[in-house]
Amino acid sequence: MVVGDFPVELDTLVVGAGPGGYVAAIRAAQTGQKVTIVEKGAIGGVCLNVGCIPSKALIEAGHRAEQAQGDDTLGIKTENVSVDFSKVQEWKGSVVNKLTSGVEGLLKGNKVDIVSGEVYFVDKNTVKVMDDKNSQTYTFKNCIIATGSRPIELPAFKYSDRVLDSTGALNLKEIPKKLVVIGGGYVGTELGSAYANFGTEVTILEGLKDILGGFEKQMSALVKKKLKSKGATIVTEAMAQGVEETKDGVKVTYEANGKKETVEADYVLVTVGRKPNTDELGLEQVGIEMEDKGLIKIDEQCRTNVDSIYAIGDIVPGPPLAHKASYEGKIAAEAIAGENAVIDYNAIPAVVFSDPELATVGYSEEEAKEAGYDVKASKFPFAANGRALSLKASEGFMKLVTRKDDGLIIGAQIAGPNASDMISELGLAIEAGMTAEDLALTIHAHPTLGEITMEAAEVAIGTPIHIVK
């Protein structure tokens, strides 16, 4: 490779090696493209290093800690249970390292060149890649931008040792006695639940009328109930106003019900959304069209208004989900290869690893009605499932949303254990154009949580076995 003032010529350049970028690079290489990927941080991006993966590891450790306390109703008694949090963090780090090293191996195995540095666009076919010591110019035929997002920082809550973003909350050296969480969305609820399982006294401040606003109220109500059973306090329609850092903690001021309140804690975690990483790429040099809040406009093949440049993931419209980024990465790579690949978000699931887990795919009942569909909503409770009862996890339900005229499945929601895994069958059903009868006729193993899908389908077609019609 020639360096210095001479530009290096590339076929396909991918900017960012998160779940969107590395998947795009691998798929592009599989189609015969010569691919180079540039990452300024760690391979795997936010998701693998400081997001999806480490948070799920921490959540699992929290579940184990809670279960270790025993359960009198099961006849299980324990004494002197303790948590070595340094070991928890060490294990979490080992999970991350296995995955990130695995991704690097996959990139190299697919003959993708990996370059470290920050990218700045010079024109529609040229970038400069800079690291601490050097600057190198690259020209490309096509480029996929996959730079992801970062946490939004509130002016009154500047990040510090005590005022944390999600990365900081994942890397604490000790279990907090008290934690204030500003924002009751995905991240705030997941991390709040994880620390509550470790015994932390958690207070969640949410500005809207309810936590987990993207989910139906019946679903979020189950999570609120479980959080409160763990000793958490949830304050909705609360506006966080400021924080005072003390020697050993923080004092957070907020307003709720017309009153100014103060809550003290060891730390405050701010989870009020994410900001796309598009502001330092030099996109104005290229004339790429943007939407509100720094998002890049794309077409159905993830192509921007500049023919040679594509964009995927958190920097384009839609929910900031890792699996959405990976899906778009494949579409963009295949479009560059000349394949007839287009995006279809109809069956993209959304999952919260709360307690209980929540998952949704396709339309909710309300969304379907707003879209003009005449629908039927069919629910089956976890309490009527033998496996759920044996897991002592009988709270929750599955709801199928079907068209009345033909039973076509157009949406599904699950609140309960393993919802994150169960939703995939329903995503497949929507993608394949299946009806409730198709699911009802599919034999599901017994006793499993998966039977709930079959049972909900039987409710939809009017032949339920394990609940009274």
Model pLDDT for residues 112-148, shown as the tens digit of each residue: 999 999 999 999 999 999 998 889 999 999 999 999 9
Which of the four CATH numbers 3.30.70.270, 3.30.390.30, 3.30.160.270, 3.40.50.360 does domain 356-461 have?
3.30.390.30
Please determine whether the domains at 8-150+275-345 and 163-272 fall in the same fold group of CATH: yes
- pTM of the predicted structure, to 2 decimals: 0.95
Model pLDDT for residues 366-396, shown as the tens digit of each residue: 999 999 999 999 999 999 999 999 999 999 9
Q: Is the pLDDT of residue 255 over 50?
A: yes
Instruction: Report which residue type is found at 47.
Output: C
Report the catalytic residues.
446
47, 113, 76, 41: which is closest to 326 by C-alpha?
47
Provide the annotated binding site for FAD: 56, 147-149, 314
Characterise 190 by phi-psi region: left (phi > 0), alpha (psi -120 to 50), beta (else): alpha
d(CA 13, CA 340): 21
Provide the annotated binding site for NAD(+): 183-190, 206, 273
Model pLDDT for residues 419-444, shown as the tens digit of each residue: 999 999 999 999 999 999 999 999 99
Which of the four CATH numbers 1.10.645.10, 3.30.420.10, 3.30.70.250, 3.50.50.60 does domain 8-150+275-345 have?
3.50.50.60
Taking the CB of residue 264, how many other CB atoms lie within 10 A of it?
Answer: 15
d(CA 453, CA 189): 26
Look at the alpha carbons of 94, 98, 99, 104 in this order and tell me if their dihedral is positive or negative: positive
Structure tokens at 213: 């606003």
Does residue 358 contact residue 211 with C-beta atoms inside 8 Å?
no
Break the chain into its structural domains and give their ranges.
8-150+275-345, 163-272, 356-461
Using alpha carbons, list the distances in angstroms from residue 238 to 11, 179, 193, 195, 439: 51, 16, 19, 21, 43
Model pLDDT for residues 188-210, shown as the tens digit of each residue: 999 999 999 999 999 999 999 99
d(CA 378, CA 384): 14
pLDDT band for 1, please (50, 70, 90 cuts).
Answer: very low
Q: Is the pLDDT of residue 356 over 60?
A: yes
Q: Annotate 325-356 with b (16+ C-beta within 10 A) or e (fewer).
A: bbbbbbbbbbbbbeeebebeeebbbbbbbbbb
Res 5: pLDDT: 58
Pairing of strands 259-265, 250-256: antiparallel
Which of the four CATH numbers 3.10.310.30, 3.50.50.60, 3.30.365.10, 3.40.50.410 does domain 163-272 have?
3.50.50.60
d(CA 20, CA 14): 10
Look at the alpha carbons of 326, 311, 282, 25 in this order and tell me if their dihedral is positive or negative: positive
